[in-house]
Structures are given as structure tokens and as C-alpha cells.
């Protein structure tokens, strides 16, 4: 796996799992860095299943949402899927208020997120 600054990436079977290392994703430079790193993961030839684990994220800028929508479209465009998991209630509320719970597959925990690919 490549060396990333803002995310930790592992592979569980056919699923790439990205865990955010930032607790506050608010700064534009951090957001751009995360977007670049996630796009690098998605660009892997064998990356058709991507699970994003938000367990460590306490604060999230709404500008991240656009980056996630773009990444989701990219994954679908290559015949893959993206699932989100382990959101704190305040992060999940942001997705609910913006109706993104209708676009994203959001699971309670990483185990359920992983199982959703099989």
C-alpha cells in the first residue's frame, strides 16, 4: 500500500478500507489532501470495492460532501461500489440534512460495511 498522510488504507479480501486519520476535516488543504489520497486508492486497478470508515472523525466540513459524491460516481463508473461506515451521530446528521443518505450506502460498523460487498 502507498504511504498516505490523511488516511490509513488496508485491504480486506476484495475490499479496500480507508480510515480517516484526521479527527477534524475542516481545512481546505486537508480536504484536498484527503480527496487526492482517496482518488489514488480508487485509481488502483483492482479497487472496485471501497469502504470509508469515519470512526475517528468528529467534525466534517460540508465541502467534503462534494468530494465524496465525485468519488462515489468514479467508483460506480468503473463498475464498483463505495460504502461508508461508523459515523458519529453528528456526522450522520449532516448526511441526513443534505439528503445524501439516499445516495450513499451507510452502515453502522465496519463489519456490516464489509459484509455488504459479499
Query: Tens-digit pLDDT profile for the chain (118 aa)?
Result: 678 999 999 999 999 999 999 999 999 999 999 999 999 999 999 999 999 999 999 999 999 999 999 999 999 999 999 999 999 999 999 999 999 999 999 999 999 999 999 9
Residue 88 in grid coordinates: 458519529
Pure H helices in the chain: 28-42, 63-77, 89-97, 110-115
Q: Where are the domains of the chain?
A: 7-115
Q: Do 89 and 50 meet the contact criterion of CB atoms below 8 Å apart?
A: no
b/e burial code for range 86-114 (CB count within 10 A of at least 16 → b): bbeeebbebbeeeebeeebebbeebeebb
Q: Which CATH class is domain 7-115?
A: alpha beta
Amino acid at each position: 500500500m502507498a504511504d498516505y498522510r490523511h488516511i490509513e488504507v488496508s485491504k480486506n479480501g476484495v475490499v479496500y478500507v480507508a480510515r480517516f486519520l484526521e479527527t477534524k476535516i475542516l481545512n481546505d488543504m486537508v480536504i484536498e489532501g484527503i480527496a487526492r489520497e482517496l482518488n489514488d486508492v480508487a485509481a488502483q486497478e483492482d479497487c472496485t470495492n471501497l469502504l470509508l470508515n469515519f470512526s475517528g472523525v468528529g467534525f466534517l466540513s460540508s465541502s467534503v460532501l462534494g468530494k465524496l459524491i465525485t468519488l462515489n460516481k468514479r467508483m460506480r463508473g468503473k463498475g464498483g461500489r463505495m460504502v461508508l461506515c461508523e459515523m458519529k451521530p453528528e456526522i450522520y446528521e449532516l448526511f441526513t440534512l443534505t439528503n445524501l443518505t439516499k445516495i450513499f450506502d451507510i452502515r453502522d460498523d465496519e463489519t456490516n460495511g464489509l459484509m455488504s460487498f459479499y
